[in-house]
Chains A and B, each alone.
Chain A
Amino acid sequence: MSLGQRAGLKPARPMRDVFGEALLQLCQDNPRVLVLDGDLCNTTKTLAVRQRFPERFLNIGLAESNMISIAAGLADCGFIPFCTSMAAFLLSNGYDQLRLCIAISALNVKIVGSHGGITLGKDGPTAMAIEDLALVGGLPTFTILVPSDPAIMHAAVRAAAEHIGPVYLRSSRVAMPHIYPEDQCPFEIGKANVVREGRDVTIIGCGIMVAAALDAAVMLAEEGIQARVLDLHTLRPLDREAIAAAARETGAIVTAEEHLLHGGMGSNVARIVAETCPVPMRFVGLADVYTDSGDPDELLVKYGMTADDIVRAAREAVEAKV
């Protein structure tokens, strides 16, 4: 079964295509937006901006460190630079610059890490960003957005530009099915969306794992377990109230992310749960390993990030309730 099929979600185009469209739209609407590229505009899908607004598109070349520091200077000049490249390269090559030039002074720079997670597939572990959210999580002034569907991607790109301060936005190579109606997508930075109601357990997902969580919720319902599903599209600031309410009202929590468990979304949610209303928790994500190259769907199965894995985790969490 394909992702989102059990939940009846309509398939969509790859997220990077949606990002490219959203960014082009933003450039049309806001003349202060600039796009910086690490020579990957074909891959990140910012090529359309280069063609349409060549004067506002800067290919800095294969020099991510340089790109991010240049963006700091451009932000100082009143522009809103979007730095785009593969998440793995931007955050690893550019981390010192993100910290020093952007984060410490909270400059108005947007970082878009494309090909987040393992679902870029066949290019293998060197190109996969399995640690991007942990890395950017180490930069206190960054807002962190992980869109889960096309409508959210559009809203997140707009919100990133409107928000004054550094933003990290994760984009992906894979398609994520439609979760929201395209014309009425609720999106507010820092406010998680309840995308399915339930009383027995809450599955908190981000990115591609929200659709998987909705599939899992359908399977759990067949067993009589009613799962709430929370789309945690913002990892900083975390929606403390929504997490606390989920713990209080459903009594068990499963987190699901396409990221290392160590330092990822789940560990941050766990901190809030521990502080507000400790309940049994289970965590779906990548254990401490680098994955193989391979077909994305096969990788998700091999490394335990499917709806089936969420179902197993939810059963365990529910059984652990007192």
Chain B
Amino acid sequence: MQNTPMDIQVLKDLARQFRLDVLDITTHAGSGHPSSSFSCVEILTALYFGGILRYRSQEPDWPERDRFIMSKGHAAPLLYVVLAQAGFIQREQLWTLRQVNSPLQGHPVEGLVPGVETTSGSLGKGLSVGLGHVLGGRLNKLDYRVYVLLGDGECEEGQIWEAAMAAAHFRAGNLIAIVDYNKYQETGPISREIALEPFVAKWQAFGWYVEEVDGHDIGALIEALTSVSVPLTHPVTRVVHHASRIRHGVRAEGQPSVIIAHTVKGKGVSFVEADYTFHGRALTPEQAAKAREELQCH
């Protein structure tokens, strides 16, 4: 399957299905990070089904593909669910998550699952790996884009800023970072533990073009991702100016871009949204039944 832009309502329905699938497979596995997956559902939906990423699921190593690097590896359940929908893996495989002899490790391992571009699960590496793909693409004379999804807590890792500095130096204009800014790390609120703010200014100081967006507004995400992805090779027809998108300055040639996506940890399930201690634990079958009801109502 390839990525042809879909109608927003279809994308919203897909996003709901992804949350249900993440819920189901993590509860089935008895562990995992559903709340960290829920916060970035719309981001992956926009990338894989909103006409942004160029891929061929039947040819996962297609050299000209755009890269998607899942640096926040604990959102693996969502990545697998999306890869199944995109045709990289079989849907039935999803229910083997975290089981012996399954390729679906608790955190993604490159080489085991088609479409998984990098091993992640120790945080802070993905932006550098993405920069490697940018530099390799340049040497191979290919013009693909590289998208890296970072967690907000992950931005406490020093290597993120090593990569940010180097990406600007190497003029990695086709490197696009997306931060899933759900405001919570494992122990508690980011602002209480290790604050990221002023976050926009930090990226700008490292030479990046910055946009902020409502990370649950698929239309706004597609618009932001499209604008930082030019030059484009496929047409995008919807051009709506969303109130939930803030552009900081003007993107310059060769400047890497970061989209700070404001999200809600556990998005879609009220009692998970309200309790950050759900990080790193699956819902019990009873909680999952209640969550399913909520998700199906929306």
Contacts and interface: CB of A to CB of B under 8 A. Distances in A.
B125 A69 contact: yes
Interface in B108-155: 109-111, 117-122, 124-125, 128-137, 139-140
A101 interface: yes
A73 B166 contact: no
Given A66-B162, A69-B159, A101 B136 contact: no
B121 to A, nearest CB: 7
B163 interface: yes
Contacts, number: 102
Contacts of A71: 132
B108 to A, nearest CB: 10
A128 interface: no
A277 interface: no
A162 B121 CA distance: 30
B162 A65 contact: yes
B137 A69 contact: no
B109 A105 contact: yes
B159 A65 contact: yes
Interface in A62-87: 63, 65-66, 68-79
A105 B119 contact: yes
Given A60-B166, A69-B163, A101 B137 contact: no
A1 B135 CA distance: 50
A75 B121 CA distance: 19
Contact of B118 (A34, A72, A96): A72
A84 to B, nearest CB: 16
B132 A69 contact: yes
A79 B135 CA distance: 11
A55 B138 CA distance: 10
B119 A101 contact: yes
A76 B132 contact: yes
Interface string B64-86: 00000000000000000000000
Nearest to A61: B166
Interface string A231-273: 0000000000000000000000000000000000000000000
Interface size class on chain A is: 20 to 34
A76 B136 contact: yes
A79 B133 CA distance: 10
A55 B135 CA distance: 11
A300 to B, nearest CB: 36
A195 interface: no
Contacts of B124: 65, 96
A58 interface: yes
A78 B142 CA distance: 13
A65 B166 CA distance: 12
Contacts of B120: 100
Contacts of B165: 61, 63
Given A60-B166, A73-B131, A97 B125 contact: yes
Contact of B166 (A63, A74, A104): A63
B122 A99 contact: yes
A97 B120 CA distance: 10
A106 interface: yes
Contact of A77 (B109, B111, B137): B137
Contact of B125 (A60, A79, A100): A100
Given A70-B166, A104-B119, A105-B110, A77 B132 contact: yes
Nearest to A94: B159
Contacts of B121: 100
A63 B125 CA distance: 12
27 contacts: A60-B166, A63-B159, A65-B158, A66-B162, A69-B125, A69-B128, A69-B132, A70-B128, A72-B118, A74-B132, A75-B132, A76-B117, A76-B132, A77-B133, A77-B140, A78-B63, A78-B140, A79-B136, A79-B139, A97-B128, A100-B119, A100-B120, A101-B118, A101-B129, A104-B110, A105-B119, A107-B110
Given A71-B132, A72-B132, A73-B129, 12 more contacts: A63-B159, A65-B125, A66-B159, A69-B125, A69-B129, A69-B163, A72-B129, A73-B131, A74-B135, A97-B125, A101-B129, A106-B111
Interface of B: 63, 109-111, 117-122, 124-125, 128-137, 139-140, 158-159, 162-163, 165-166
Which A-B residue pairs are the 7 nearest by beta carbons?
A: A73-B132, A77-B136, A69-B128, A66-B162, A70-B132, A63-B162, A105-B110
